[in-house]
Chain A
Amino acid sequence: MDENDIIERRACISGVGQSDIGRRLFRDPLELTLDGCLAAIEHAGLTTADIDGLSTYPGPMGTPAGFSGAGAYDVMDALRLNCGWYGSGLETSGQLGSVVNACLAVASGLATHVLCFRSVYEGSAQGEKGRAAVMPGGGGGGGGGFKASGFMQWNLPFSAPSAAIWIAMFAQRHFHQYGTTREQLAWIALNARRNAELNPKAIYRDPMSMDDYMAARMISSPFCLYDCDVPCDGATAVIVSRRDRAKDLRNPALRVEAVGTRIDGRPSWDQFDDLSTMANRAAGKQLWERTEYRPSDVQTAQLYDGFSWITMSWLEALGLCGLGESGPFIEGGTRIARDGQLALNTHGGQLSAGRLHGYGFLHEGATQMWGQAGERQIARPPEVGVIAAGGGNTCGCLLLVRE
């Protein structure tokens, strides 16, 4: 591939920011969103006058409750931004699809500094009723005459309303094909927790042992409670800048070396042809087709863990271990530790640091690569990092290189 075709390389990450993060903050979601956005702009060494692009996932959505704290227009208006390009949407290559779009926008000259954000308030929206509050019919039973349509008609009548179940079935297939075990799977959660212990913004910071994990109640086999991420409130923002206009900014540019957005097979949770992998298999492959770097060059991986097995799936999809070999790869937790060969989910992932929905991984990867991660900093700040988000039929990834 001609290097001139890999136009995402004209883009870089120049700043990141986050609002307060909490299990249930009961704050105005737009206010949280703006806190995160302003923090990222400031972190990049920019002002709102410099921002001329805006991108978010998923855009305004009423349901599920708390899934979207603000849309692009909300932020554009509140910060009085003038934009050469903007956009949002749910139908893209995962949460990071919005960041890829921003890279393409700066590469094409439509914008110079694009503010990208993801804002959630699922913790507050669920309130004391927990997950039941956001189930169809509003929880509490009866369904109120609610009828399922669209793709939900194919799982709600079977009492399968949650992605926990859908992803659990992928994991079960992986267990069947490759002999993966819960003792292996546990290391995604245990590694996340030991990292979260050092992250002051993480939701769950108490130490967790293998015994704790094995004693937890089952949700949907093979997933127990600790295999499921924790709903929270908070907003994360990143600035995507044109690389040739980022040289004098506050942080060294993190070049977007390559992205992966491809999907093959059916865009479906249950009709996908190989239930031991997901849409990420193609996105991961595409990423490596666009760069001379190899998986062995990666020093940190920040890989989505909406459910623990998704991280294992990304390890395989990105070639960071062999197909079907993620179980042995993570077993014992040594390779994936902060001082291991592949520091993984160093902030605690969504399992322990909160379901910031994809952007938390990009925030953490960039923070580690800039050496700004405080107590949890990897000893030698990584020069090469891979970030991936999404599961099922919505998956995307980025390879970042510090300049």
Chain B
Amino acid sequence: MPDVEETAPPFRILPKLTDHNRDFWTAGVRGELRFWRCQDCGFYIHPPQPICPTCHSKDIRTESVSGRATLATFSVNHQPWMPGPDLPYIVAIIEIVEQPSVRLTTNLVDCAPEDARIEMPLRVTFEHHPDPDGDIYIPLFRPDAERGE
């Protein structure tokens, strides 16, 4: 069953959908985290670019990854910059296990600030935001209980 949060989400500024980013922001409806990937050399490309940066192939498509990731770094944010999650919340940079050079800035959820540890294993979860331009599923990350610490 897809790991999708269905409780009322906090206010978020949503992304403007384009042909390049639509899969990334909407595939969470199926519980999938998707990135562009070079079909010739297998390199994952993020943020989206029109050609593969390593082999320059234009044969690129979006593919699902496992949703497993590692915490590269984080910050516990206490400042009310704008409406958003309850304070404090954790902003994180994660690396996907398939290709650690692919990073996402995201939020670490279901984790107390004092429990956050760089290098800890994480797993994607999606926050559903209905939107007239197309529902958005924001990929957030939580500690991965299965892989433990």
Binary flags per residue of B83-113, CB closer than 8 Å to A gives 1, else 0: 1110011011100000001011111000001
With an 8 Å Cβ cutoff, the count of chain A residues facing the other chain is: 45
- Shortest CB distance A154–B (Å): 6
Q: Known contacts A147-B16, A219-B78: does B11 contact A165 (CB below 8 Å)?
A: no
Cα A270 to Cα B74 in complex, Å, equals 11
A184: interface (CB < 8 Å): no
Binary flags per residue of A154-190, CB closer than 8 Å to B gives 1, else 0: 1111111110111011101100100000000000000
Cα A271 to Cα B35 in complex, Å, equals 15
Interface-centre pick from A136, A157, A176, A269 (highest chain B CB count, 10 A)? A157
User: Within 8 Å CB of B105, what residues of A?
Assistant: 154-155, 158, 160, 166, 269-270
**A140-163 CB contacts (< 8 Å) to partner B:** 141-143, 146-149, 151, 153-162
Q: Looking across the interface, which residue of chain B has its beta carbon closest to that of A162?
A: B81
B82: interface (CB < 8 Å): yes
Cα A132 to Cα B141 in complex, Å, equals 27
Which single member of A153, A173, A220 contacts B21 (CB below 8 Å)?
A153
The interface residues of chain A, by DSSP majority, are classed as mixed
A403: interface (CB < 8 Å): no
- CB pair A160–B82 under 8 Å, yes or no, is no
- CB pair A219–B72 under 8 Å, yes or no, is no
- CB pair A136–B118 under 8 Å, yes or no, is no
Binary flags per residue of B3-23, CB closer than 8 Å to A gives 1, else 0: 000000011111110100100
- CB pair B118–A173 under 8 Å, yes or no, is yes
- CB pair B81–A221 under 8 Å, yes or no, is no
- CB pair A147–B15 under 8 Å, yes or no, is yes
Q: Known contacts A164-B79, A165-B75, A169-B75: does B11 contact A141 (CB below 8 Å)?
A: yes
- CB pair B103–A147 under 8 Å, yes or no, is no
Binary flags per residue of A288-311, CB closer than 8 Å to B gives 1, else 0: 000000000000000000000000
B73: interface (CB < 8 Å): yes
Cα A156 to Cα B82 in complex, Å, equals 10
Which single member of B16, B82, B93 contacts A153 (CB below 8 Å)?
B16
User: Within 8 Å CB of A131, what residues of B?
Assistant: 81
**B31-65 CB contacts (< 8 Å) to partner A:** 46-47
A139: interface (CB < 8 Å): yes
- CB pair A148–B13 under 8 Å, yes or no, is yes
With an 8 Å Cβ cutoff, the count of chain B residues facing the other chain is: 42
Binary flags per residue of B67-78, CB closer than 8 Å to A gives 1, else 0: 000001111111
Cα A132 to Cα B105 in complex, Å, equals 21
Cα A124 to Cα B108 in complex, Å, equals 35
- CB pair B15–A142 under 8 Å, yes or no, is no
Cα A161 to Cα B78 in complex, Å, equals 13
Which single member of A151, A160, A173, A176 contacts B91 (CB below 8 Å)?
A160
- CB pair A161–B75 under 8 Å, yes or no, is no
Which single member of B15, B77, B82, B101 contacts A137 (CB below 8 Å)?
B82
User: Within 8 Å CB of A269, what residues of B?
Assistant: 105
- Shortest CB distance B5–A (Å): 14
Q: Known contacts A158-B138, A159-B89: does B14 contact A221 (CB below 8 Å)?
A: no
- CB pair A141–B83 under 8 Å, yes or no, is yes
- CB pair A271–B77 under 8 Å, yes or no, is no
Q: Known contacts A153-B15, A176-B118, A271-B101: does B82 contact A139 (CB below 8 Å)?
A: yes
Q: Known contacts A142-B83, A173-B118: does B91 contact A157 (CB below 8 Å)?
A: no
Cα A270 to Cα B103 in complex, Å, equals 7
Q: Looking across the interface, which residue of chain B has its beta carbon closest to that of A136?
A: B13
Which single member of B13, B46, B88, B89 contacts A143 (CB below 8 Å)?
B13
- CB pair A172–B73 under 8 Å, yes or no, is yes
Cα A218 to Cα B80 in complex, Å, equals 11
User: Within 8 Å CB of A220, what residues of B?
Assistant: 75-79, 91
User: Within 8 Å CB of B79, what residues of A?
Assistant: 162, 164, 219-220
A380: interface (CB < 8 Å): no
Mark B residues whose CB is within 8 Å of A.
Answer: 10-16, 18, 21, 46-47, 72-85, 88-89, 91-93, 101, 103-107, 113, 118, 133, 136, 138, 140
7 smallest beta-carbon distances between A and B, as pairs:
A159-B84, A147-B16, A168-B75, A173-B73, A153-B15, A221-B76, A156-B13
Please name 30 pairs of A and B residues whose Cβ atoms are closer than 8 Å in the assembled complex, sorted by A: A141-B11, A142-B11, A142-B83, A143-B82, A147-B14, A147-B15, A147-B133, A148-B13, A157-B136, A157-B138, A158-B105, A158-B138, A159-B81, A159-B84, A159-B85, A161-B81, A162-B79, A164-B79, A169-B75, A169-B93, A172-B75, A172-B118, A173-B118, A219-B78, A220-B75, A220-B78, A220-B79, A221-B113, A223-B75, A275-B93
| 14 additional contacts (CB under 8 A) given A136-B13, A141-B11, A172-B118 | A135-B82, A143-B13, A149-B16, A156-B13, A157-B13, A157-B15, A166-B105, A168-B77, A172-B74, A218-B76, A218-B78, A222-B75, A270-B104, A270-B105
